[in-house]
Structure 1
Amino acid sequence: MSRKILTVCLLWLSLLSSAYAAESFVLGVVPYMSARKLSVLYEPLRAELQRQLKRPVTIETAADYSFFLERTNHGRYDIIATSPYFGRLAQQEQNYQPLVRPLTDLEPLLVVRPDGAKNVRELRNKVISTSDRLANLTLSAHRYLLQAGFVPGKTIIIRPTGSHANSLASLLSGEASAAIISVSALHQFGSDMEKKVRILARLPRTTPLLYMGHKRLGQQQLAQLEQQLLKFANNTPQGKAFSQELKHDGLKPVAEQDMEALDPFVQDLKGLMK
Structure 2
Amino acid sequence: MARKFLLLCLTLCSLVQAARAADMLVLGVVPYLSARKLAELYEPMRAQLQRSLGAPVVLETAPDYQSYLARTREGRYDIIATSPYFGRLAQLEQGYVPLARPLTNLEPLLVTRMDGPHELEALRGKVVSTSDKLANLTLAAHRYLWQNGLEPGRDVTIRPAGSHANSVQALLNGESAAAIISVTTMRQLHPGTTARVRVMKRLPHITPLLYLVHRRLGATRIDGLRGQLLQFANHTEVGRLFSKELGHDGLKEITPADMKVLDPYVQDLKVILR
The amino acid of 2:84's aligned partner reads P
Query: Structure 1 stretches of 5 or more lacking a match?
Result: 1-7
- Contact 2:53–2:225 (CA<8 Å) still a contact in 1? no
Quote the residue 2:176 is aligned against: 176
- Contact 1:27–1:59 (CA<8 Å) still a contact in 2? yes
Residue correspondence of structure 1 range 36-55 to structure 2 within 5 A: 36-55=36-55
Quote the residue 2:187 is aligned against: 187
Quote the residue 1:160 is aligned against: 160
Give 1:18 deviation, angstroms: 4.0
Give 1:189 deviation, angstroms: 1.0
Give 1:111 deviation, angstroms: 0.4
What SS does the corresponding residue of 2:195 show, helix, strand or coil?
helix
The amino acid of 2:19's aligned partner reads A
Q: Cα gap change, 1:271/1:14 in structure 2, threshold over 3 Å: closer, same or farther?
A: farther
Query: How far apart are the structure 1 equivalents of 2:147 and 2:9?
Result: 61
Query: How far apart are the structure 1 equivalents of 2:11 and 2:172?
Result: 50
Quote the residue 1:117 is aligned against: 117
The amino acid of 2:91's aligned partner reads Q
Quote the residue 1:248 is aligned against: 248
Give 1:15 deviation, angstroms: 6.0
The amino acid of 1:26's aligned partner reads V
Range with greater deviation from structure 2 (240-249 or 15-24)? 15-24
What SS does the corresponding residue of 2:98 show, helix, strand or coil?
strand
Aligned: 1:208 with 2:208: yes
What per-residue deviation string (whole Å, max 9, x for no partner) do you get for residues 120-139 of structure 1?
A: 11111110000011111111
* TM-score, length-scaled by structure 1: 0.93
- Contact 1:44–1:238 (CA<8 Å) still a contact in 2? yes
What SS does the corresponding residue of 2:213 show, helix, strand or coil?
strand
What per-residue deviation string (whole Å, max 9, x for no partner) do you get for residues 92-130 of structure 1?
A: 000001110000001111000111011111111110000
Quote the residue 1:80 is aligned against: 80
Range with greater deviation from structure 2 (150-159 or 230-239)? 150-159
Range with greater deviation from structure 2 (235-244 or 183-192)? 183-192
Query: How far apart are the structure 2 equivalents of 1:234 and 1:123?
Result: 41
Quote the residue 2:4 is aligned against: none
Q: Cα gap change, 1:235/1:116 in structure 2, threshold over 3 Å: closer, same or farther?
A: same
Give 1:74 deviation, angstroms: 0.9
Quote the residue 2:62 is aligned against: 62
Q: Cα gap change, 1:152/1:13 in structure 2, threshold over 3 Å: closer, same or farther?
A: farther
Query: How far apart are the structure 1 equivalents of 2:51 and 2:84?
Result: 27
Give 1:154 deviation, angstroms: 1.8
Query: How far apart are the structure 1 equivalents of 2:131 and 2:86?
Result: 15
Give 1:182 deviation, angstroms: 1.1
Q: Cα gap change, 1:221/1:148 in structure 2, threshold over 3 Å: closer, same or farther?
A: same
- Contact 1:186–1:193 (CA<8 Å) still a contact in 2? no
Q: Cα gap change, 1:128/1:14 in structure 2, threshold over 3 Å: closer, same or farther?
A: farther
Quote the residue 1:3 is aligned against: none
The amino acid of 1:243's aligned partner reads S
Query: How far apart are the structure 2 equivalents of 1:138 and 1:228?
Result: 32
What SS does the corresponding residue of 1:42 show, helix, strand or coil?
helix
Aligned: 1:90 with 2:87: no
Residue correspondence of structure 1 range 142-157 to structure 2 within 5 A: 142-157=142-157
Q: Cα gap change, 1:17/1:67 in structure 2, threshold over 3 Å: closer, same or farther?
A: farther
What SS does the corresponding residue of 1:81 show, helix, strand or coil?
strand
The amino acid of 1:128's aligned partner reads V
Q: Cα gap change, 1:10/1:261 in structure 2, threshold over 3 Å: closer, same or farther?
A: farther
Query: Structure 2 stretches of 5 or more lacking a match?
Result: 1-7
Question: Aligned-residue CA RMSD in angstroms?
Answer: 1.9
Q: Cα gap change, 1:25/1:152 in structure 2, threshold over 3 Å: closer, same or farther?
A: same
Give 1:52 deviation, angstroms: 2.1
Query: How far apart are the structure 1 equivalents of 2:171 and 2:127?
Result: 9
Query: How far apart are the structure 2 equivalents of 1:13 and 1:162?
Result: 40
What SS does the corresponding residue of 2:266 show, helix, strand or coil?
helix
- Contact 1:130–1:167 (CA<8 Å) still a contact in 2? yes
